[in-house]
Structure 1
Amino acid sequence: MTVHTTANGPVTVITIDRPEVRNAVDQATAEALGSAFDAADTDEDTSVIVLTGSSGTFCAGADLKALSDGRGNRVTEPEAAGIIDSLGPMGPTRRTLSKPVVAAIEGHAVAGGLELALWCDLRIAATDAIFGVYCRRWGVPLVDGGTVRLPRLIGHSHAMDLILTGRPVGGDEALRMGLANRLCESGTALATALEVAGELATFPQRCLRSDRLSA
């Protein structure tokens, strides 16, 4: 299994587990992520979802080796799915969930992995986390909402800096520009995200979810 789901009371943790490719996402992983988030979003016992990656890396983006081998990562076409919010190459990033999602980021969150992080409502990052549009150097575009969400989160000027240069952004700078919501010590991103998620789960959920969707 490339995606694992663990229940922590009212918090469900979804983990990308492909350490051999720094948790890069291929078609099977995108489908598994979509299924995991669908299940958590409809689970009455789940109030908040945490997304993380195994072995000290959040996600290195799309699996470019799989793409070069002819194994495409397109999951569903909107027409075929019969819905607007079909699964994208990174999984659930074209969908709007009813529950908040917190990203627990260790190591690299780059290219499509950055897009996954941007899709989340909050980003808890280790001090040594690295963000970046690394796909710039390979001529691969941001295809799962990154060009829309990044300017909204950090402003057009900062977003253009990241999108055009593809440069790495460390945890401290990410916090200053608003890309990361909170920083924590290396190795504690998941624990910190669980604390934040647990706090969110204590609030009246109907009001919290309504305000979240309105923002």
Structure 2
Amino acid sequence: MHRCIGTPLFPSVTGSDKPVVSERRGAVMLIGINRPEARNAVNLETAQRLTEELSAFDQDNSLHVAVLYGLGGSFCAGFDLKELSQGSVSLKLEQDVSSAPGPMGPSRMRLSKPLIAAVSGFAVAGGLELALLADMRVVEESAIMGVFCRRFGVPLIDGGTVRLPQLIGLSRALDMILTGRPVKAQEALAFGLANRVVPDGQALQLALELAEQISAFPQLCLRADRNSAYHAVFDSASFTQAMQYEVDHGVPVVLAEAVTGARQFRDGMGRGGTFSKSKL
């Protein structure tokens, strides 16, 4: 059951002066950008904290899924250009993507476990790139996504030109990249940019529910399949190479998890394709 619109999901972080807040819910880690006065635009401190939080999540074996969201009604409006324009930030752009975080923080990371983005308000410019870091995006009806930095001559250097074409195809990606136009939730759903569209105020709750359901699956198998999909899209030089990677990383899971799963199926679990405890 979804929480009512306007009901605070995390009252414990209300009023926090930290630019990034986190909370653990069982095997799920919730990570929130907390700069609502700037529509959660990311400055250097926020970028560092996001990188630290997602790195800690990725290294913690007891955590299975993370949810990234923005407090105060907006996901993220990109990098804090106002702060940059005032000369209060010395932004050193590291061009070796393997040696340092991106300007938005974790955008250059390849996480080993699922990340879900709960998108409300604006997810634009670098904020769109953070949303693209996620495996799935739960998007509220009034949310806006887009390459708004097009208007100011700010390039996509946090993975936008890499991930977006793979997610929605080159033609649609170029439409967004070249025009910088706003993309609403239903169009994002048609593009495949949004995975779920929900009423305003419900993205975080549904993202948490999805995270909890995903975290209940056998994790070795889930991660092997997830990582093989990423490898096939971004790293494989050929179909044969991708197939070999899938087999090499899938076969060990058969003995580790699949035999037990087969016994559960034999004993009646999941017959007819049912998910008795899932609303995926």
Same fold (TM over 0.5): yes
Kindly indicate which of the two structures has a greater share of residues assigned to strand: 1
Superposed CA deviations along residues 171-206 of structure 1, whole A, max 9, x for unmatched, are: 000000101011111000000001111111011111
Rounded to whole Å, the distance in 1 between the matches of 2:127 and 2:108 is 14
- Unpaired segments ≥5 residues, structure 1: none
Count of residue correspondences: 211
Query: Which residue does the alignment assign to 1:178?
Result: 192
Runs of 4+ in 1 over 3 A off after TM superposition: 72-78
Alignment equivalent of 1:53, drawn from 50, 65, 70:
70
Q: Tell me the TM-score normalized by structure 2.
A: 0.73
Q: Does 1:72 align with 2:72?
A: no
Q: CA RMSD in A?
A: 1.4
Q: Does 1:19 align with 2:36?
A: yes
| Pairing 1:88-103 to 2, within 5 Å after superposition | 88-103=102-117
Query: Which residue does the alignment assign to 2:136?
Result: 122
Query: Which residue does the alignment assign to 1:192?
Result: 206
In 2, are the aligned partners of 1:11 and 1:198 still within 8 Å (CA)?
yes
Larger deviation, residues 96-105 vs 39-48 = 39-48
* 2:27 partner letter: P
Rounded to whole Å, the distance in 2 between the matches of 1:85 and 1:174 is 33
RCO comparison, higher one (Cα < 8 Å, 6+): 1
* 1:22 partner letter: R
Identical-residue share of aligned pairs (%): 55
Bigger Rg over Cα: 2
Q: Does 1:40 align with 2:40?
A: no
- Unpaired segments ≥5 residues, structure 2: 1-17, 230-280
Q: Structure 1's 85 and 187: CA in aligned 2 closer, same or farther, altered over 3 A? A: farther
* 1:57 partner letter: S
Q: Displacement of 1:65 after TM fit?
A: 1.2
